[in-house]
Amino acid sequence: NAGVTQTPKFRVLKTGQSMTLLCAQDMNHEYMYWYRQDPGMGLRLIHYSVGEGTTAKGEVPDGYNVSRLKKQNFLLGLESAAPSQTSVYFCASTKGAWRNNEQFFGPGTRLTVL
């Protein structure tokens, strides 16, 4: 049981480049989430998914797109990276709705946009 895994672990982009972060979970969880963590701030929710084929906006969705084509995978895309998107990105999943369900987090992806 790998839990929640994230690919890649580190990435450096130039402004304007695009990339996709992959999150995978092997716990058959319905809900998946993408967060970003910045210095001096708590984790902030970017987008989330309540099931295969569904996505919804979180607190800070601008500049990101997501897809949940398979239940076990949740992809976060940056179409045109900006320095403000330099952050550590965490993926998480829960068995059901976020309340009363423990969120399992991946190890994070450290992204630097130059």
Partner 1 sequence: DQQVKQNSPSLSVQEGRISILNCDYTNSMFDYFLWYKKYPAEGPTFLISISSIKDKNEDGRFTVFLNKSAKHLSLHIVPSQPGDSAVYFCAASATGNQFYFGTGTSLTVIP
Residue 103 touching partner 1 (CB under 8 A) = yes
Torsion (CA) 84, 9, 65, 16 in degrees, nearest 10: 50
Query: What distance in Å separates the CA atoms of residue 23 and residue 5, rounded to the nearest whole number?
Result: 6
Ramachandran class of 16: left when φ > 0, alpha when ψ lies in -120 to 50, beta otherwise: left
Q: Which stretch binds partner 1 (CB under 8 A): 13-21, 61-69, 72-80, 92-100?
A: 92-100
- Residue 68 CB neighbours (<10 A): 21
Q: Which residue from 19, 43, 50, 60 is in contact with partner 1, where contact means CB under 8 A?
A: 43
Query: What distance in Å separates the CA atoms of residue 105 and residue 3, rounded to the nearest whole number?
Result: 8
Residue 98 touching partner 1 (CB under 8 A) = yes
Residue 102 touching partner 1 (CB under 8 A) = yes
Select 76 or 106, whichever has its Cβ closest to partner 1: 106
* Chain centroid to CA 28: 17
Q: Which residue from 32, 87, 90, 111 is in contact with partner 1, where contact means CB under 8 A?
A: 90
Residue 24 touching partner 1 (CB under 8 A) = no
Binding residues vs partner 1 (CB under 8 A): 4, 35, 40-45, 48, 58-59, 90, 92, 97-100, 102-108
